[in-house]
C-alpha cells in the first residue's frame, strides 16, 4: 500500500474514533472545548507517531530474534508508558511552552487505546518501519480531526436547549454517531477511485 493510501485509510476510512472506537474515553472526556481538544489531539498524534516507530523496532529487533513475540502486549504497554514519561521529561526540558500546552494530557495518553491499538495494528498488518510511521501519524491525525470537530459541536450544543436527560454525555454520543454516519461516505472504494490500490 502506498503511503497516501495509508494516510487516507487511517484518517478517513478507518478513523480511529468514529469507525474503530479506539480512544473513545478521551474523545468523550476532553472534547468539551476546542482548546483542550487541539491539545489532546496534538499530544496523541505525537505519541502514536513515536510509539509506532519504537514498538516496531522493539518487535522486529528484540522480540522476534529471541522468539518472544507472545510477550507483545506486555512489552508494548511498558514501552509506551516509559516513552510517554520520557517524552514528558524531554518536552519539559526542551520546550517549556509546548509542555505547558501538552503537559496535562500526556499522562492520560498512556492508557489511551489508540496508542496501544496502532502499535498492535502495525504488527498485525505487517507494515515496514516507514509504513508504521505513516500509520501512526495518520491515526493521530484522524483522532485529532474527530476530537476537534466534536469539541466544536459540543461548544455549540451548550447554547442550544437540549432535553435534561440528554445533556452532557448522551448528546455527545449521539452527535458522534451522526458524525460517524457522515464518515461512512469514506469507504474502501475511495482508494480504488483515486487509483491508490
Partner 1 sequence: MNIKELTKGIFKENPVFIIVLGLCPTLGVSTQVSNAIGMSAGVFFVLLFSNIIISALRNFIPDSIHIPAYIVIIASLVTIIELFMHAFAPAVYAALGVYLPLIVVNCIILGRAEAFASSNTVIDSALDAIGMSIGFTLSLTLIALIREVLGAGTITLFPIGSFDGVLEVPWLIDNPFRVVALAPGALLLMGFLKAFFDWKAMRKVD
- What is the contact surface with partner 1 in residues (CB under 8 A)? 18-25, 28, 70-74, 77-78, 81, 110-113, 116-117, 120-121, 124, 164-166, 168-174, 176-178, 180-181, 183-184
Beta carbon of residue 179, minimum distance to partner 1 (angstroms, whole number): 8
Q: Assign 18 to helix, strand or coil.
A: coil
Q: CB-wise, 41 or 98, nearer to partner 1?
A: 41
Beta carbon of residue 91, minimum distance to partner 1 (angstroms, whole number): 20
> Which of 54, 51, 53, 75 lies closest to 63 in space, CA to CA?
75
User: Do 47 and 123 form a contact (C-beta atoms < 8 A)?
Assistant: no
Q: CB-wise, 8 or 121, nearer to partner 1?
A: 121
Beta carbon of residue 1, minimum distance to partner 1 (angstroms, whole number): 18
Q: Kind and range of the H or E element at 77? A: helix 72-94
Q: CB-wise, 13 or 137, nearer to partner 1?
A: 13
Beta carbon of residue 148, minimum distance to partner 1 (angstroms, whole number): 17
Q: What does DSSP assign to residue 70? A: G
Gap between the Cα atoms of 144 and 140, Å rounded: 6
Gap between the Cα atoms of 162 and 184, Å rounded: 26
Q: CB-wise, 101 or 120, nearer to partner 1?
A: 120
Amino acid at each position: 500500500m502506498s503511503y497516501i493510501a495509508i494516510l487516507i485509510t487511517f484518517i478517513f476510512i478507518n478513523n480511529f474514533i468514529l469507525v474503530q472506537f479506539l480512544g473513545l474515553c478521551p474523545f468523550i472526556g476532553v472534547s468539551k472545548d476546542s482548546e483542550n481538544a487541539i491539545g489532546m489531539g496534538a499530544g496523541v498524534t505525537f505519541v502514536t507517531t513515536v510509539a509506532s516507530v519504537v514498538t516496531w523496532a522493539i518487535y522486529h529487533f528484540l522480540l522476534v530474534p529471541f522468539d518472544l513475540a507472545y510477550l507483545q502486549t506486555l512489552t508494548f504497554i511498558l514501552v509506551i508508558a516509559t516513552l510517554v514519561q520520557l517524552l514528558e521529561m524531554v518536552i519539559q526540558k526542551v520546550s517549556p511552552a509546548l509542555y505547558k500546552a501538552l503537559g496535562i494530557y500526556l499522562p492520560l495518553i498512556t492508557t489511551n487505546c489508540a496508542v496501544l491499538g496502532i502499535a498492535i495494528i502495525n504488527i498485525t498488518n505487517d507494515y515496514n518501519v516507514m509504513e508504521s510511521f505513516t500509520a501512526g501519524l495518520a491515526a493521530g491525525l484522524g483522532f485529532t480531526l474527530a476530537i476537534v470537530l466534536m469539541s466544536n459541536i459540543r461548544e455549540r450544543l451548550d447554547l442550544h436547549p437540549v432535553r435534561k436527560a440528554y445533556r452532557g454525555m448522551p448528546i455527545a454520543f449521539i452527535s458522534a454517531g451522526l458524525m460517524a454516519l457522515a464518515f461512512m461516505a469514506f469507504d474502501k472504494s475511495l482508494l480504488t477511485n483515486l487509483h491508490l490500490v
